[in-house]
Structure 1
Amino acid sequence: MARICVYLGSREGNSPAFRQATNKLGRTLAERGHTLVYGGARLGLMGELANSVLEAGGEAIGVMPDHLVEREQAHFGLSELIRVRNMHERKATMAANADAFIALPGGIGTLEELFEIWTWGYLGLHEKPMGLLNIDEFYSPLLTFLDSTVGHGFLAAPTREMLLDAPSPGELLDALEAQL
């Protein structure tokens, strides 16, 4: 099956819905035979996702720069932990090892990774599906803003449509799998 790269927070956030949906996504990835590719941390939603994939019998590949191994407390129980030199190499390695991309709730790192991979798709550097898991409407303000950029003429509608979104793991995976 596919390797799904997931961008998400190294913190848990303040809503139990984030953790619940993250665990559901992990179990669903494993049940559908997909491999998780993510940032390699054992903390926050990142750790929750990896643990749920592994507990459901799936494979989890983490990618982490050497300088973050201690800071983010790398998950050493993964199927594979790829250590790289820097953040640029991390993102490139994650992208090269993925067939599709999902963003869950997270902070500036999650958003930076999402927008970079979306930009790479826009530029034709990949043709892999991308989507937001809009847990508890976390991404609704961003989606409204993105739709506004189309209305204001700064983003073409086909580019906006490249970024899928769904409120549940199953719905988002269905949409991504339809494009694989």
Structure 2
Amino acid sequence: MNICVFCASSLKIDQKYLQLAADVGAELAHRGHTLVSGGATVSCMGAVAAATRANGGRTIGVIPQVLVDIEIADTDSDELIVTEGMRERKAAMDARADAFLVLPGGIGTLEELFEIWTARTIGIHDRPLVILDPWGLYAPLRQLIDDMYEAGFTRAVVYDAISWTTTAEEAFAHLEATPKRVRPSVEELGEATG
């Protein structure tokens, strides 16, 4: 499987997040999967790619030209795709992915998560989407989704479209499971896009 990993590119994070990314990369390689990532060498993005390769795995990096220009492109990638901008980058990552794994990250990671989550919720794709959150960084997000559900802004299909995990083993079990097709009702489609 090609597993797209969304994760941090910030340089000011705790070492535990870098270790998590490295552990995910190693596990991904040991299970015979290919990594699709944002194609940079920094922070968790660099750690997951380096660990994947160090353990015999293949990596596909997708990076916009603006980041190549500041010399953070992962030129060691087995395949490095340079895009015009961020929207093209996300589209290229999406097109190459069989599943999505979200690690702790910042607003860029959240943007990627919400785009893939929304697409799965409205039935554009049925690929697995998993959050790996050992330390509860995304707990407020999960609470927000619960509050939105209680207030009527979303429907139960939003829960069916994602798996929340706390260990790499649990995350990979969800990624490797046969995906369940999300088939929202017409009412849910209208509310999800409105």
Normalised by the size of structure 1, how large is the TM-score? 0.94
Residue 70 of structure 1 deviates from its aligned partner by: 2.7
Counterpart secondary structure, 1:137: coil
Contact 1:147 1:160 in 2 (8 A): no
For the pair shown, the structure with the greater C-alpha radius of gyration is: 2
- Asked if 1:142 is matched to 2:141, the reply is yes
Corresponding residue number in structure 2 for 1:91: 90
Percent same amino acid among aligned pairs?
A: 42
Counterpart secondary structure, 2:130: strand
Residue 49 of structure 1 deviates from its aligned partner by: 0.5
Amino acid at match of 2:110: L
Deviations 1:48-68 (A, max 9, x none): 010010100001100011122
- Asked if 1:29 is matched to 2:32, the reply is no
Corresponding residue number in structure 2 for 1:119: 118
Q: How many residues align?
A: 179
Amino acid at match of 1:155: T
Normalised by the size of structure 2, how large is the TM-score? 0.87
4+ runs deviating over 4 angstroms: none
* Cα distance in 2 between the residues matched to 1:163 and 1:67: 31
Amino acid at match of 1:53: T
Contact 1:18 1:135 in 2 (8 A): no
Given the superposition, is the C-alpha separation of residues 91 and 72 from structure 1 closer, same or farther in structure 2, using an over 3 Å criterion?
Answer: farther
Residue 13 of structure 1 deviates from its aligned partner by: 4.7
Contact 1:43 1:72 in 2 (8 A): no
Residue 160 of structure 1 deviates from its aligned partner by: 2.0
* Cα distance in 2 between the residues matched to 1:14 and 1:21: 12
* Cα distance in 2 between the residues matched to 1:78 and 1:55: 12
Greater shift, 7-16 or 107-116, is seen at 7-16
Pairing of 1:40-119 with structure 2 (within 5 A): 40-71=39-70, 73-119=72-118
* Cα distance in 2 between the residues matched to 1:149 and 1:136: 23
Given the superposition, is the C-alpha separation of residues 12 and 165 from structure 1 closer, same or farther in structure 2, using an over 3 Å criterion?
Answer: farther
Counterpart secondary structure, 1:135: coil
* Cα distance in 2 between the residues matched to 1:9 and 1:37: 14
Counterpart secondary structure, 1:179: coil
Amino acid at match of 1:115: F
Counterpart secondary structure, 2:105: coil
Contact 1:3 1:99 in 2 (8 A): yes
Structure 2 portions without partners, runs of 5+: 180-194
* Cα distance in 2 between the residues matched to 1:128 and 1:72: 32
Contact 2:40 2:73 in 1 (8 A): yes
Amino acid at match of 1:60: T
